[in-house]
Amino acid sequence: MATIIDGKLTSSQIKSEIAARVSEIKAEGGKTPHLAAILVGTDGASQTYVGAKVKACEECGFDSTLVRLEDTVSEEELLKVVEDINENPSIDGLIVQLPLPKHISVEKVTDKIKPEKDVDGFTPANVGRMALNWPAYVAATPYGIIELLKRYEIETSGKNCVVIGRSHIVGSPMSILMARNGYPGNATVTLTHSRTKNLEEIAKSADILIVALGKPHFVTADMVKPGAVVIDVGIHRIEDSSKKSGFRLVGDVKFDEVSEIASAITPVPGGVGPMTIASLLYNTLLAAEKKVYG
């Protein structure tokens, strides 16, 4: 049976470390880290995610500001709100919760955020700095995975790493991070996606398999090398009549069978998910202490 890479436990440890640092900052008379979030519309999942981020700020001793906007807000109005937060010296980090209404360009909004306040790590400046291995805010989910690999002391140097999924939020930055010179890193990386030929064969060559394709139970045991480390980024709600709620959460990996042959694996829920918020808080702490852009 594989070692369970516990993201829930690890994220709690990280938040405790952040809270301790914030206590030190306050005791020294320094500025309390301040995260602002913009929520457009009333999407249930988005409200849940933002609520969890605000709660995590409280746990760590951060200040937080939540700006709620109607889904009828114009692109121009939203960009003005972003600009106002950019120019507000009391706010260290800014996130705009996705998805946005279809009439608003995600690219325009992302590009409007000052790189110094882009604690989501999505602006071209931060993505470019990450690729160059310069100080940067790394996107929260990839950073969370890197932190899990580090804290579970999983060897990455010289290993074959296969990433399934090429999104700008997870797959693409993950492939860059795993190939960078450092630890975790120095892996030989193959970035695959839905149109990759012989995907099953390539996946089975991986010492470290990172799955962020967005398809429930896509990776089965016959696609995994015995002893591989498997990181499951997916999260899906599927019907389950045996549950009181009528559903259960699963990942992109068929956990029950893959956990029998992998050496280590992240569960869903409780694996990568909790690390995303912890990483966002860590980036905000870096912003408050001006450790990336000075």
Q: Cα angle at 150 between 148 and 152, to 5 degrees?
A: 65
Q: Is residue 64 part of an annotated ligand binding site?
A: no
Q: What share of the chain is helix, strand, coil (3-state, %, to 5)?
A: 40, 15, 45
Specify whether the CB–CB gap between 149 and 265 falls below 8 A. Answer: no
Catalytic residue among 6, 15, 92, 97: 97
Q: Is 47 a catalytic residue?
A: no
Q: Is 114 a catalytic residue?
A: no
Residue 20 to residue 132: CA distance in whole angstroms: 31
Catalytic residue among 92, 118, 120, 252: 120
Please name every residue paired with 40 in a beta bridge, in sequence order, or none if there are none.
69
In eight-state DSSP terms, residue 219 is: B
Pair of tokens at residue 17: 């470390």
Q: Is residue 171 part of an annotated ligand binding site?
A: no
Q: Is residue 237 part of an annotated ligand binding site?
A: no
State the DSSP string of 25-41.
Answer: HHHTT-PPPEEEEEEES
99: left (phi over 0), alpha (psi -120 to 50) or beta: beta
State the DSSP string of 43-86.
Answer: -HHHHHHHHHHHHHHHHHT-EEEEEEE-TT--HHHHHHHHHHHH
CA distances (Å), origin 22, targets 30, 38, 53, 135, 143:
9, 23, 17, 21, 21
Residue 144 to residue 158: CA distance in whole angstroms: 21
- Sheet containing 34-40, strands listed edge to edge, beginning at the edge strand earlier in sequence: 63-69, 34-40, 93-96
Q: Is 13 a catalytic residue?
A: no
**Cis-peptide into 269, omega within 30 deg:** yes
Q: Is residue 165 part of an annotated ligand binding site?
A: yes
Catalytic residue among 6, 15, 53, 232: 53
Binding residues: 165-167, 235
Binding residues for NADP(+): 165-167, 235
Instruction: State the catalytic residues.
Output: 53, 97, 120
